[in-house]
Each structure stands twice: as structure tokens, then as C-alpha cells.
Structure 1
Amino acid sequence: MTWRMPAESAPHERTWMAFPCAGPTLGDTPQAAEECYRSWSAVAHSIAAFEPVTMVVDPSETGRARDLLGSDVEILEAPLDEFWMRDVGPTFVLDADRPEVLGAVDWIFNGWGDHEWSQWRKSAGMARIVAEASGAELVSSLLVNEGGGIHVDGAGTVLLTETVQLDPRRNPYADRARVEAELARTLGATHFVWLPRGLSRDYEQFGTNGHVDIVAGMPAPGQVLVHHQPDPDHPDHAVTRELRAFLAQQTDAAGRPFEIVDVPAPETITDDEGFVDWSYINHLVVNDGIVVCGFGEEKADAVAREILEQAYPGRRAVTVDSRAIFERGGGIHCITQQQPALRTEGATR
């Protein structure tokens, strides 16, 4: 078996999501809960305009999910306690030797480091549930990892962060060599770009400790999109400048220096909790489209759509207001997981 994770821009069979249910992420008030339900549903409807969507729903929320999702989205009932599908679900891979086989990598999920606030024991089994429902062959892994902590170009390069996979709350005995060997086995990675850190807010109480999918992504081999915070009053101004300088010294698996494309942050730099981590990097590429985080800033949202449409030629970018999702710790990419199509995975749309 030669497993390989295709680029997100390769054709999809569908996108997987998980519907919100009772817990700390949902919110403390009926208004907050309703905001959460509707934000997740809006993302699902936007994706469904381009490709099928399957929403995993805790039985306690089936009625509400059917009302909000209608006939646009397929529903699969399963027990949940977290609903960040990028992290709790599997990472899908393909087998170069068996083009008819879909694989699903089952990372160990421990609530981003088994924090006192994290509820994860039900969702720790999500990869197996999704693998069975999708007909995928389960690829077991002993690495504590999340889908938001990796990004691939489909040609051997993987971006990851020193403070995630090497986090002692996740993998206390791992080192770079062990992590790289496991990503080579499960994803077909041959070249590893270790970012030194992530965005500032991601290191606060409810953060992931540096997920890469809010900082940088590769729309094509040899090209990297980088979050740019232009406001010097924001701590990420220095962080993103340093990350850009770091990536300017890196290459992809073929030895090419990265062409760096800056993606500016919105103008808003704070909310009620402090400095925001609003980022357009946390988008989802779908068949013929790009579903982009929106922040209620018409000009900045439009600039992001234009940059991303140029990065993914032939795709149409649509914006979904994601402020409620970011308030809870992530964005559109964090709540979704793409399932690649079989046989034609090398093509783009």
C-alpha cells in the first residue's frame, strides 16, 4: 500500500461536517447556540451548491439539523461531543497501487492536548464512523494529530507546526523524525516544512497551539498562501512577518523555492476577548469553488476572494460570515473535511 493525501484542490466526492450539539463550544445562552447552529448550517449550504455534503449529527440534534439543513445535506446520526470535523474526523488518502480504494487515516484525537475544558471521548471515534460510512479502508495511527495541523500540496510537501505535533500534551515522546516517518507512511509525505509557531490567539486557553490551516496553505506545488497581518498594533504583525521570512527560505518537495502570496487580514484586530485571529487562509476548496470566511468587511472580504480565485484558477469564491465560528476557535476549514474522488484524483476542476 502506498497511501497519498491528494491536494485539497483535487476533485472531491463530498465534504463531511459535524453538527453542533450541547457542550462548551455551543455557547452558554440560547442566542449563542442559535448563532452556532446557523453558522455551521450556512457553511453546509454554501458547500452543497458545489458538491455533496454529509453532516454527522448527534441524535439529540437530529430534528433541528433536518429543519436547518433541509434536503441540501445528507444526515448521518452518530454520537458527538465535538464538531470540528477537520480535527475529529479522518484524513482521507488514496492508494497509488489500488486506484479504486479510499483510505481514512484515524489519528488519535485527545481534544487538542486533553485540556480540562475539552470534551472529546465520543468524537475520538469519529474517524472510524466516517470511514465505515464512506466505504474507506481504515489507516490506524498512533500519532496524536488533527487535520488542521497539517496541509499538503499533493506532491509530497507537508506544512506542519513545531508546537502541534511535538506538543508534549499530544505526543510527549515524539521527535521530528518519528512524526515525519508517520506522515510519510500515512500521507505519502516526502518533504516536511516545520513552521516554528502559529497565530497568537491559538496559544490562549481554548486554542489549538498553532494549527497551520489558519496561517498558511499551498494552492499548488511551489506556491504558498500566507496570512498577513498589516496592523503593527496586532501581535500577529510580527508573527506573520517572521513566518513569511521563514517560508521564503524553504522549498517544496521538488526543491523549488516557494512563491509566496500574502493574504491580508481584515481591518478589525480585536473583539471582546482580545486580539482576533481572523484569517482568510482558513477557506475550503471545493469542486469548482472556494468557500471563504467572511468577517463583515466588504472591501477586505472582496480582496480575499480575488486573491483566492487567482490562486485557484477556474473556481468561484463565495463568502460565508464566519465570525461566530472564529469566536468558537476556528473557521470554515476547521469544521469541514474533504473526501477525494477516486480514479480522477490527479485532475483539477
Structure 2
Amino acid sequence: MAFPRAGVTLGETEAERAEGYAAWTAVAHAVAEFEPVSMLVDPSETARARAMLGDGITQLEAPVDEFWMRDHGPTFVIDDERPGALGAVDWIFNGWGAPDWAEWRLSAEHARTIAAHVGAELVSSVLVNEGGGIHVDGEGTVLLTETVQLDPRRNPFADRARVEAEMLRTLGAERAIWLSRGLTRDYDEFGTNGHIDIVATFPSPGRVLLHAQPDPAHPDHAVIPRLRAELAQAEDAAGRRLEVIDLPAPAQLRDAEGFVDYSYVNHLVVNGGVIACGFGDPHADDRARGTLADAYPGRRVVTVDARPLFARGGGIHCITQQQPALPRVDSGGLE
């Protein structure tokens, strides 16, 4: 994770900034109940981070401007033929298409910083991409959206074939499933132009959790059937048709900026658990916990209020990036 720092994303008022610091800290503490957490902290925020995070979370000092670690951090990969090796894909990060408001040049270095810190082999990519723009099933399938990877502000000369070749080279993804777009709010000024990680994810190979908007008053009500049809027509790398499981949105349709993109798809899977987004809607939050518990058998689902995160442009998945554990290798083989 990356600890927030003052700037446009965190908020203009003292109350807004306090809310942002508290939201990132709450997610870090929730994850720390299940597995170790490391936090990149800008030098200007070290004292605050130490006071808020406590002793149980490792802090690494590094320059930070944006703090959506999923997007500017490394995408970790492993190699079945080299069990002790950890790779870190370093996508080119340009602040979601280099909009005028984005502060991204410092955080664009985070993949390299983290790879060096954890001893991972850097896998440099020429593709402008973010971790929130992809989801994989671990068996050779990647989910993408046309409006992210083919965004002319990101990759003006890319086409599907070039993107798919890079997904194969960096992630080992043999099959790409393309969705035509993302959720409506994500195309606003401060959106990502269609990140997949609020739309759909693989809880396991052959199964997809899909955001659902049951209310006709929300524009995503018309978007989701189109995406569901695209998923229904797709096959994964193993040649399977996908089982699509709905994750219905909460009842709230709007906030002060317009139609919300509140999505339970934007959760984080951790060791023995799932950190789920909550939206202050007891019925919908409980329903989502049940669906996630069924989708991830044996894992405890914990809900953290994600409204302050979504107000700033993302959710729990967006501010975290998991690092896989590797089998230990000694002279006698794997342990």
C-alpha cells in the first residue's frame, strides 16, 4: 500500500484529509489481521503514518504523489518453471491517461522501488497500463476493457493483438477476454476510463463475479446486460464457458458528484479472508458478504467502509497490491 499525502486526491479541507487518512489506515489494519502489510510513505508523512499505523505495519520511505498502489505499483508474477523466483511487472503509469489533475510522476517509480526492496526480478513493459485494468484467473486468462488498454491517451498505437502479446509476455496470459467498457462514473473527469476491477473478477477459474445494478434509474442498469452478454460469449484459456455470478450494487444511486460506481467487485482476497467494500447499506452489505463467502469458501469476509475511498476515485482493491508467497527452495528441493 501507499500512505496518503496532501494533494488533490486527499481533499481540500482538513476534514476531508482526515477522512482520507483514516480510510487508508482502516484498510491497512483490516488486512494486517490476516497477513503482513508494507506501506510506502512519503517523507512528509512519516510521523503521521507512524502514529496512525502503529508498529504492526512495515513502513518504507519513498516519494509518493498518487497512492493507488494497485495502479502504479508492480503486478507480481511467479514462474512455474522457477519456483523460487518472483517477478514484478512494471507497467508504464501515466496517471490514467495523463489528465491535467493527476499527480503521478513520483508514484510511477514505485514498481521499481518495490521490486528492488523485495528482491523481485523486474519485468519492464512498454504498455501503459494499471493493475486495476486487469484481472487474471491464474490459469492463463486475463480480463480487459477496450477503453483502458486501447485508450489513445495511454496507448495510441495499440490494438488488441499487441496488447494480448504483451499480456502473454508479462503475465503468461494465453487468452484475453475483452469487455467493451466499464461503469458509467468511471468515465467522469476523475475516472480511470473503465477499470475492470469495479466491473468483474475471477473468484476461481471458470467463474466470474459481475457487478449488477438492479435499479433502472441508474445508467449502469443498461450497461451491465451488455457486459454480461460479452462474458457469456467468451471462453477462458481452458476452453470453458464462464459461470457469471451477480454482485448487486447497494441501493444508493447518487452522491454529490452524480451517479455512484459503488461496487462490491472491488474487494481484496487475503490469506484466509476477503476484505470487502461496505457502503452503509446493511442489507446490500450483508448480501455481498454472503455472496463473497460462497465464492471464496473457507475465507472470512470482513467489511470496511469504502465510501471515503470511492469519493476519491477507487476502492479497497485499488489501494492494495498483493505479493504472492513463494515456496522455499533448498538443496533438497521445494519445501
TM-score normalised by the chain length of structure 2: 0.97
Structure 1 position 72, deviation (Å) = 2.1
Deviations 1:117-156 (A, max 9, x none): 1111111100000101111011111100000000000000
Map 1:7-46 onto structure 2 (within 5 A). Answer: 17-46=1-30
Whole-angstrom distance in 1 between the partners of 2:243 and 2:227:
14
Structure 1 position 96, deviation (Å) = 1.9
Aligned pair partner of 1:337 in 315, 321, 325: 321
Aligned pair partner of 1:213 in 163, 175, 197: 197
Deviations 1:33-65 (A, max 9, x none): 000000000000000000000010001000000
Whole-angstrom distance in 2 between the partners of 1:292 and 1:274:
23
Deviations 1:84-137 (A, max 9, x none): 000010000012221111000000000000111111111110000010111101
> Is 1:286 aligned to 2:263, yes or no?
no
Aligned to 1:340, the other structure's residue is in SS state: coil
Aligned to 2:262, the other structure's residue is in SS state: coil
Name the amino acid aligned to 2:304. V
Deviations 1:257-306 (A, max 9, x none): 11110000000000000100000000000000000000011111011010
What corresponds to 1:229 in structure 2?
213
Q: How many residues align?
A: 328
Name the amino acid aligned to 1:45. H
Aligned pair partner of 2:136 in 138, 144, 152: 152
> Is 1:193 aligned to 2:177, yes or no?
yes
Deviations 1:195-242 (A, max 9, x none): 000000000000000000000001111100000000000000011121
Whole-angstrom distance in 2 between the partners of 1:98 and 1:140:
19
> Is 1:117 aligned to 2:93, yes or no?
no
> Is 1:89 aligned to 2:70, yes or no?
no
Which consecutive residues of structure 2, in runs of 5 or more, have no partner in the other structure?
A: 329-335
Work out the percentage of aligned pairs sharing the same amino acid. Answer: 68
* Higher alpha-carbon deviation: 237-246 or 210-219: 237-246
Structure 1 position 179, deviation (Å) = 0.5
Whole-angstrom distance in 2 between the partners of 1:277 and 1:112:
17
Aligned pair partner of 2:44 in 36, 40, 60: 60
Aligned to 1:293, the other structure's residue is in SS state: strand
Whole-angstrom distance in 1 between the partners of 2:125 and 2:23:
32
Whole-angstrom distance in 2 between the partners of 1:146 and 1:43:
20
What corresponds to 2:247 in structure 1?
263
Aligned pair partner of 1:249 in 233, 251, 267: 233
Whole-angstrom distance in 2 between the partners of 1:144 and 1:83:
18
Which consecutive residues of structure 1, in runs of 5 or more, have no partner in the other structure?
A: 1-16, 345-349
Aligned pair partner of 2:281 in 297, 316, 325: 297
Aligned to 2:323, the other structure's residue is in SS state: strand
Structure 1 runs, 4 residues or longer, greater than 6 Å off: none
Name the amino acid aligned to 1:207. G
Whole-angstrom distance in 1 between the partners of 2:282 and 2:23:
18
What corresponds to 1:72 in structure 2?
56
Name the amino acid aligned to 1:43. V
Whole-angstrom distance in 2 between the partners of 1:69 and 1:123:
21
Structure 1 position 341, deviation (Å) = 0.8
Whole-angstrom distance in 2 between the partners of 1:266 and 1:191:
32
Name the amino acid aligned to 2:266. N
Whole-angstrom distance in 1 between the partners of 2:43 and 2:59:
10
Whole-angstrom distance in 2 between the partners of 1:124 and 1:21:
15
Whole-angstrom distance in 2 between the partners of 1:331 and 1:239:
20
Name the amino acid aligned to 1:240. I
Whole-angstrom distance in 1 between the partners of 2:234 and 2:79:
28
What corresponds to 1:140 in structure 2?
124
Structure 1 position 250, deviation (Å) = 1.2
What corresponds to 2:298 in structure 1?
314
Structure 1 position 343, deviation (Å) = 2.3
Name the amino acid aligned to 2:76. F
Aligned to 2:301, the other structure's residue is in SS state: strand
Whole-angstrom distance in 2 between the partners of 1:319 and 1:249:
33
Whole-angstrom distance in 1 between the partners of 2:118 and 2:219:
42
Name the amino acid aligned to 2:6. A
Name the amino acid aligned to 1:173. F
Name the amino acid aligned to 1:113. G
Higher RCO (CA-CA < 8 Å; seq separation 6+): 1
